[in-house]
């Protein structure tokens, strides 16, 4: 129907034979034949694709057909392809597909109008795409695919068609074609493996066929940018004259073709050609790797900008196509080294070259391609990625010589890379940890950090993007850290011996071992950097340092020095050049070894000399230059034979190139050398022969165009052509392999150590500059993420820096005006406050020096009256301030108190001292609620209440920070009210923290006690600090002593601090102090164990015994101690001293003194139960001495009771088994002296001092008599017995001489009892003598002989009874004996 619309076929019959109808049109004949065949076909499988395709293909090939006819035929072919009607038989389908591609790519039709022509061309594109995408498309050969690519590209790049819909369709079609063929890389690889297995069993001659087809195809695609296509482009030109001429030519040809002879010959030619084509197609293989390499190389060639005409548009198109191919092939590119080679060299070099042009689309596409390459093919592109990041991304992101939009794109790309889970760790492990590579990861982090700081400008998108990149790095580190609960850094040491392995890259047989080796390499790299720094200033010192850490041998060798020159980064190239040119024998050997480290094999002379000279600066001296170039020439001649006749030729040429370089690139040289002059200068240098002129011309152009640039310090973005050639060469070795790191956080600690400082600074500056709420919240999240990661890695320095940075937003407000309002109105300060306390509460284990900033912040809030009562009134220190006048009136005086709510609205008048009666506005009430919520959400009190969960080191720093923040307060007196407030709050928090950490008191006690001591020691006036220090100490002891037996002694000994209080201060605090002590003793009476503790308590009790208000509590303490303590040698004397103090003390009255005597008796009873030892008597005697001392009390009742108690003690203790000497000592030192002292006081009439002393003396005299008689058996054994007896008689005589009725009655009775007992026991007998042979009878008689002045009643009684006694003693039969014995018993 379409053909009949054309005048040529309007009259041709449709169903009759052409001969019968009078005409024979070959196009109609084939359609009629096809119709007949269709009517006879019953099974579709019986149909051959060539039979039903041939009529349509003839229409496509025919130049006689118009656009609509050709378009209809193309639509029919498209239906056959999309419906998969080509058939299942491979050979037939392969031939059919080839014919379709051949016909469509050579499609010719009469041009009509441009719109109609474009429709036909679009259908051509549609059919070509269907050829590739249909199931039979896999059967296409390499040539077929290349023809499809060629046709699609040419249709879209016809002259005059730029920007048209057809061009866009062409690009879309080419995109889909490219995507389709590259999706089949894995299938092609499987097919290639099968072919290799098949070919291994066949002859080797067949193996060369794929390369031949590949080369031919490459040539064809390589000419795409040349002349216009011969088919569609020429046929669709809108030139009417040319169209008519073509039509006429075809008509003439058609008429000539009607000749039978010619027709027969043509048929034979067609059959011959068809059979040859069929044979070639059947032998061809489906398109494979050679086609893919050719197509990808073609796409890569589009990227290279050769001229300015449509170059950037073509470049963008080529980049987009490359991106499509990479997205389609993914990691399957790695299956074919040929594709990897194209990427390594052509693609990456073009990307590096064009990335810097000021075209945003080009840069954006390049960055996306680079991301795809990293995602799927990073293993093969280690060196290329180093070059790309260093020379493209970092250079553009730096923003120094590019537009703002370019910088933005580069930063966006860097952020995308940073968000990849392994990109940054791959950079660090493969580059930063390699000794011979640059610190790319470090450079990226430094750049991102630098770009976050606005310089004389508001916050911009580049600043936010840079922060995004840094936080993306942290997020990846954080994700990896979740797999391991704890990461510890590895400590490395310098090598024990020097080894070449230091400079070598470790093998990757096992990832874990490789990672550990790379971490060690990073440590060595840092050490080498130190050595390089020394070397650049003084080579000798640099060598010495490296030798000291065994990175160079103790005796330098040329090999080791050359390796150092070649591998170490950052060396001064001036110094290296001078040393390499040194004529010294050692450095000549170094130069030779240095040259052998270069591999010039297969490298052009231009690239070789560039690579060599760019590794150092040539020295200025001609002789040194000559030596260096001579060594280079020998090395190049040895590795590249066949180019020069000898090494001298290479040397002369290298010198000539150096001179040419100076001539061409020195501005002072006005007349430049021409190429002919250069050729003339180098004639006959190759052993008398000329070098090839083409070679010299190429060298001239290269040197004249591209300067040899040496990458000096700071020239970090330059990458020369020679360096790129070297990168490509080394990419094929192990040096080009990038080891992709797993999600194990092996390198994370080192990476975090490198990046945390710049990141915190960046977050802080963005937080400070940001005004948008979302950005502020983003920075807050960044703070929290950094803190979390730092805690996981246990990086305390980072937490400290983070806390300090946040505190700066709180503690550095403008002090002018109302500071509270200034703080509250600063929303960032409030956010920083909440964030900081959130970090401290959650990650306090890692806070060290940052505690000082935290405490400063708390003090700031306290000064602003914003601190919650949960912090200012902690339970541990409540009610520890009652006696002193607290200067912190705002806590007590309601008229001056300023609350958070009042601070927000500022409706108080601070001048009047009374709040103004004003109604709060809704805004003020809302502000009050908001600020209250902010402060309460900080949970400041948990820092101290939960401090028991802090790590030990963190706790120690917290205590130190509290003490430091309290400031110095000598003698417990602050210089101002503000200082006192600060010191009191810090003291409260310190005491609370110490109590909360009772299980770790050993960590806090020393510093806490030192601070308390500094407050209390030498305090002469009572102040809040002194009072709180004293009672804080007691509160600590109360809470900790009952539960911490191991430190109870140290805590209790600290109570000595109370004894250092000034008397006036102690007097004021005594009552409450002893009350608190009583609580302490009641809770833990058994904790007082050591002698020092007992002495401390004894001293305190002795002070309290004389204080009217403190005495009751003190005595109760003493009762508890005496009653519950196990009396021993450690506590006996302290307790006795305390008991004596309360016996003598008048504060508690006589009743308390009496009770104290009972306590003394209790002590003596406990001592009596001790095991018999040598010290038992001494200890018992100490207690007896206390009783003796009490007998001299000024109060009668106390004194009398003391004498009675002493008598009871003495009489009840005789069973203890003391020796005679010891009882003699008791008699002399205790009994006789006590009675003598009392009687003497009576004698001296000291009634005003000691009232009723005669009664006491009478009691004491009775005690003397009873003690003497009790101890008599032991006393008689003493050599001093007679002296004791005489002393006793002397005391009785003294008593008799006193004018006291009490004593007058007591003396005779006492003497009678003693004499009777002594007589009864045979002691007072004329024949008895003591150990000194002294006759007591005679001595007594001499004493009892009445002197003239003596008329005592006792002597008279003795004289009257003398005869009776004698009779009783010697005769023992008289009735007097019985009466005397009865009297003796009564006395006893």
Catalytic residues, by residue number, are 621
Token readout for 156 is 């879209």
Distance CA 949, CA 966 (A): 24
First-last CA distance in the chain: 163
The burial class, CB within 10 Å (0-12 / 13-18 / 19+), for 706 is middle
Q: Give the three-class secondary structure for 1228.
A: helix
In Å, what is the CA distance from 1188 to each residue of 902, 928, 1077, 1145, 1264? 70, 73, 30, 16, 13
Distance CA 1051, CA 1002 (A): 10
Token readout for 388 is 């790309």
Cα-to-chain-centroid distance, residue 822: 34
Nearest 5°: the CA angle 1154, 1156, 1162 is 115
What DSSP designation does 489 have?
P
Q: Which residues contact 979 (CB under 8 A, 6 or more apart)?
A: 967, 969
Distance CA 40, CA 47 (A): 10
Distance CA 627, CA 563 (A): 19
Q: Which residues contact 1278 (CB under 8 A, 6 or more apart)?
A: 1220, 1221, 1224, 1284, 1330, 1331
Distance CA 779, CA 784 (A): 9
Q: Give the three-class secondary structure for 575.
A: helix
The backbone torsions φ and ψ at residue 686, rounded to the nearest 5 degrees and listed phi first, read -95, 70
Do the beta carbons of residue 741 and residue 515 sit within 8 Å?
yes
In Å, what is the CA distance from 543 to each residue of 436, 539, 540, 546, 1043? 18, 6, 5, 5, 62
Distance CA 85, CA 567 (A): 64
**Helix/strand/coil (H/E/C) assignment for every residue in 363-398:** HHHHHHHHHHHHHHHHHHCHHHHHHHHHHHHHHHHC
What DSSP designation does 975 have?
S
CB atoms within 10 A of CB 996: 21
String of DSSP letters for 944-1007: HHTGGGS-HHHHHHHHHHHHHHH---GGG--SSHHHHHHHHHHHHHHHHHHHHTGGGHHHHHHH
Nearest partner of 1014 among 977, 974, 1047, judged by Cα? 974
Do the beta carbons of residue 1137 and residue 1102 sit within 8 Å?
yes
Do the beta carbons of residue 779 and residue 766 sit within 8 Å?
yes
Largest CA distance in the chain: 202
Distance CA 93, CA 89 (A): 6
The backbone torsions φ and ψ at residue 1329, rounded to the nearest 5 degrees and listed phi first, read -130, 155
Torsion of CA 962, 968, 974, 978, to 10 degrees: -50
Cα-to-chain-centroid distance, residue 1100: 52
Do the beta carbons of residue 1354 and residue 1307 sit within 8 Å?
yes
In Å, what is the CA distance from 40 to each residue of 34, 43, 44, 809? 10, 9, 11, 93
Distance CA 1188, CA 967 (A): 52
Cα-to-chain-centroid distance, residue 1321: 95
């Amino acid at each position: 129907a379409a053909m009949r619309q054309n005048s040529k076929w309007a009259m041709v019959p449709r169903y009759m034979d052409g001969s019968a109808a009078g005409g024979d049109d070959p196009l109609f004949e084939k359609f009629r034949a096809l119709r007949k065949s269709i009517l006879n076909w019953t099974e579709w499988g019986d149909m051959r694709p060539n039979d039903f395709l041939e009529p349509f293909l003839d229409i496509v090939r025919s130049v006689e057909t118009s656009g609509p006819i050709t378009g209809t035929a193309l639509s029919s072919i498209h239906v056959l392809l999309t419906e998969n009607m080509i058939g299942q038989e491979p050979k037939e389908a392969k031939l059919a597909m080839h014919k379709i591609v051949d016909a469509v790519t050579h499609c010719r039709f009469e041009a009509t109008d441009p719109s109609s022509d474009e429709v036909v061309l679009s259908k051509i594109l549609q059919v070509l795409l269907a050829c590739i995408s249909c199931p039979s498309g896999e059967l296409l050969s390499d040539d077929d695919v290349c023809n499809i690519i060629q046709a699609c590209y040419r249709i879209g790049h016809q002259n005059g068609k730029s920007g048209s819909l057809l061009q866009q369709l062409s690009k879309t079609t080419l995109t889909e074609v490219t995507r389709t063929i590259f999706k089949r890389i894995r299938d092609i690889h499987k097919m290639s493996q099968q072919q290799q297995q098949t070919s291994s069993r066949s002859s080797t001659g067949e193996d060369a066929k794929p390369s031949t087809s590949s080369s031919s195809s490459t040539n064809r695609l390589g000419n795409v940018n040349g002349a216009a296509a011969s088919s569609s482009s020429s046929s669709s030109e809108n030139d009417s004259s040319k169209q008519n001429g073509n039509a006429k030519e075809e008509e003439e040809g058609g008429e000539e073709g009607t000749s039978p002879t010619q027709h027969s010959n043509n048929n034979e030619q067609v059959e011959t050609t068809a059979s040859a084509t069929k044979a070639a197609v059947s032998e061809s293989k489906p398109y494979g790797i050679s086609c893919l390499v050719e197509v990808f190389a073609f796409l890569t060639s589009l990227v290279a900008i050769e001229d300015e005409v449509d170059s950037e548009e073509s470049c963008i198109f080529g980049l987009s196509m490359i991106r499509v191919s990479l997205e389609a092939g993914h990691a399957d590119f790695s299956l074919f080294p040929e594709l990897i080679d194209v990427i390594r060299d052509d693609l990456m070099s073009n990307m590096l070259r064009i990335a810097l042009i000021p075209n945003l689309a080009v840069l954006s596409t390049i960055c996306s391609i680079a991301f795809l390459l990293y995602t799927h093919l990073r293993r093969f592109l280690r060196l290329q990625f180093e070059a790309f990041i260093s020379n493209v991304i970092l250079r553009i992101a730096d923003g120094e010589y590019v537009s703002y939009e370019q910088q933005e794109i580069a930063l966006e790309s860097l952020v995308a890379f940073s968000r990849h889970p392994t990109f940054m760790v791959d950079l660090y492990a493969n580059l930063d940890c390699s000794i011979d590579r640059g610190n790319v990861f470090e450079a990226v982090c430094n750049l991102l950090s630098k770009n976050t700081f606005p310089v004389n400008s508001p916050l911009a998108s580049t600043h936010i993007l840079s922060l995004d990149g840094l936080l993306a790095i942290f997020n990846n580190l954080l994700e990896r850290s979740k797999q391991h609960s704890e990461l510890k850094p590895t400590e490395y040491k310098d090598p024990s011996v020097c080894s070449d392995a230091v400079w070598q890259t470790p093998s990757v047989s096992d990832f874990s071992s490789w990672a550990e080796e790379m971490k060690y390499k990073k440590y060595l790299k840092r050490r080498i950097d130190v050595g390089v720094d020394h070397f650049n200033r003084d080579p000798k010192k640099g060598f010495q340092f490296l030798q000291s850490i065994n990175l160079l041998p103790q005796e330098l060798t040329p090999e080791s020095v050359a390796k150092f020159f070649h591998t170490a980064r950052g060396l001064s190239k001036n110094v290296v050049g001078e040393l390499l040119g040194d004529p010294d024998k050692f450095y000549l050997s170094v130069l030779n070894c240095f040259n052998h480290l270069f591999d010039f094999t297969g490298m052009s002379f231009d690239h070789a000399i560039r690579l060599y000279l760019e590794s150092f600066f040539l020295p200025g001296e001609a002789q040194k230059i000559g030596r260096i170039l001579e060594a280079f020439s020998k090395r190049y001649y040895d590795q590249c034979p066949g180019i020069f006749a000898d090494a001298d030729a290479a040397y002369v040429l290298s010198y000539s190139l150096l001179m040419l370089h100076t001539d061409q690139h020195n501005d002072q040289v006005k007349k430049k050398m021409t190429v002919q002059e250069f050729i003339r200068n180098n004639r006959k240098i190759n052993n008398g022969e000329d070098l090839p002129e083409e070679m010299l011309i190429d060298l001239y152009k290269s040197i004249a165009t591209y300067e040899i640039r040496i990458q000096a310090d700071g020239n970090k973005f330059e990458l020369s052509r020679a360096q790129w050639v070297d990168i490509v060469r080394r990419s094929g070795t192990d040096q080009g392999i990038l080891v992709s790191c797993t999600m194990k956080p092996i390198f994370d600690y080192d990476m975090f150590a490198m990046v945390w400082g710049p990141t915190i600074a960046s977050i802080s500056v963005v937080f400070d500059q940001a005004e948008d709420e979302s950005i502020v919240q983003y920075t807050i999240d960044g703070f929290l993420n950094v803190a979390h990661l730092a805690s996981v890695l246990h990086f305390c320095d980072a937490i400290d820096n983070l806390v300090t940075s946040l505190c700066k937003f709180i503690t550095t407000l403008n002090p002018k005006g109302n500071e509270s309002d200034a703080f509250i109105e600063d929303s960032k300060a409030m956010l920083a406050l909440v964030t900081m306390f959130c970090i401290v509460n959650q990650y306090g284990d890692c806070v060290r020096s940052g505690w000082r900033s935290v405490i400063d912040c708390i003090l700031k809030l306290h000064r602003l009256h914003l601190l919650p009562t949960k912090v200012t009134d902690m339970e541990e220190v409540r009610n520890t301030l009652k006696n002193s006048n607290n200067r912190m009136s705002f806590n007590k005086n309601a008229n001056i108190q300023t609350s958070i709510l009042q601070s927000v609205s500022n409706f108080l008048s601070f001048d009047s001292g009374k709040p103004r009666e004003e109604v709060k506005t809704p805004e003020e009430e809302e502000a009050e609620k908001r600020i209250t919520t902010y402060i309460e959400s900080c949970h400041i009190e948990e820092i101290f209440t939960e401090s028991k969960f802090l790590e030990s080191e963190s706790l120690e720093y917290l205590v130190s920070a509290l003490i430091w923040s309290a400031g110095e307060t000598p003698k417990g007196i602050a210089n101002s009210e503000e200082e006192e407030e600060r010191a009191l709050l810090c003291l409260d928090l310190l005491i609370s923290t110490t109590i909360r950490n009772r299980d770790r008191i050993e960590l806090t006690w020393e510093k806490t006690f030192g601070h308390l001591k500094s407050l209390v020691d030498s305090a002469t006036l009572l102040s809040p600090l002194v009072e709180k220090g004293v009672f804080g100490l007691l509160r600590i002891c109360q809470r900790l002593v009952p539960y911490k037996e191991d430190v109870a002694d140290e805590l209790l000994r600290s109570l000595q601090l109370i004894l250092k209080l000034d008397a006036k201060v102690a007097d004021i605090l005594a009552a409450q102090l002893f009350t608190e002590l009583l609580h302490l003793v009641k809770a833990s009476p058994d904790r007082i164990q050591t002698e020092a503790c007992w002495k401390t308590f004894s001293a305190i009790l002795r002070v309290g015994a004389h204080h009217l208000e403190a005495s009751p509590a003190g005595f109760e303490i003493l009762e508890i101690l005496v009653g519950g303590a196990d009396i021993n040698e450690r506590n006996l004397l302290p307790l006795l001293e305390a008991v004596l103090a309360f016996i003598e003390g008048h504060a508690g009255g006589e009743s308390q003194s009496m009770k104290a005597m009972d306590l003394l008796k209790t002590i003596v009873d406990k001592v009596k139960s001790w095991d018999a030892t040598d010290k038992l008597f001494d200890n018992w005697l100490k207690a007896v001495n206390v009783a003796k001392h009490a007998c001299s009390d000024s109060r009668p009742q106390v004194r009398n009771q003391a004498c009675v108690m002493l008598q009871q003690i003495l009489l009840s203790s005789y069973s203890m088994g003391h020796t005679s000497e010891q009882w003699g000592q008791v008699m002399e030192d205790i009994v006789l002296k006590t009675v003598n002292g009392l009687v003497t006081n009576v004698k001296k009439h000291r009634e005003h001092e000691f009232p009723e002393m005669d009664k006491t003396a009478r009691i004491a005299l009775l005690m003397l008599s009873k003690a003497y008689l009790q101890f008599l058996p032991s006393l008689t054994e003493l050599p001093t017995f007679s002296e004791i007896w005489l002393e006793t008689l002397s005391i009785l005589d003294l008593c008799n001489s006193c004018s006291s009725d009490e004593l007058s009655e007591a003396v005779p009775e006492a003497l009678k009892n003693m004499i009777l007992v002594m007589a009864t026991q045979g002691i007072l007998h004329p024949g008895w003598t003591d150990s000194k042979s002294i006759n007591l009878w005679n001595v007594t008689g001499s004493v009892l002989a009445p002197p003239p002045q003596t008329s005592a009643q006792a002597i008279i009684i003795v004289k009257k009874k003398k005869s009776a006694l004698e009779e009783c003693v010697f005769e023992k039969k008289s009735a007097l004996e019985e009466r005397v014995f009865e009297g003796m018993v009564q006395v006893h």
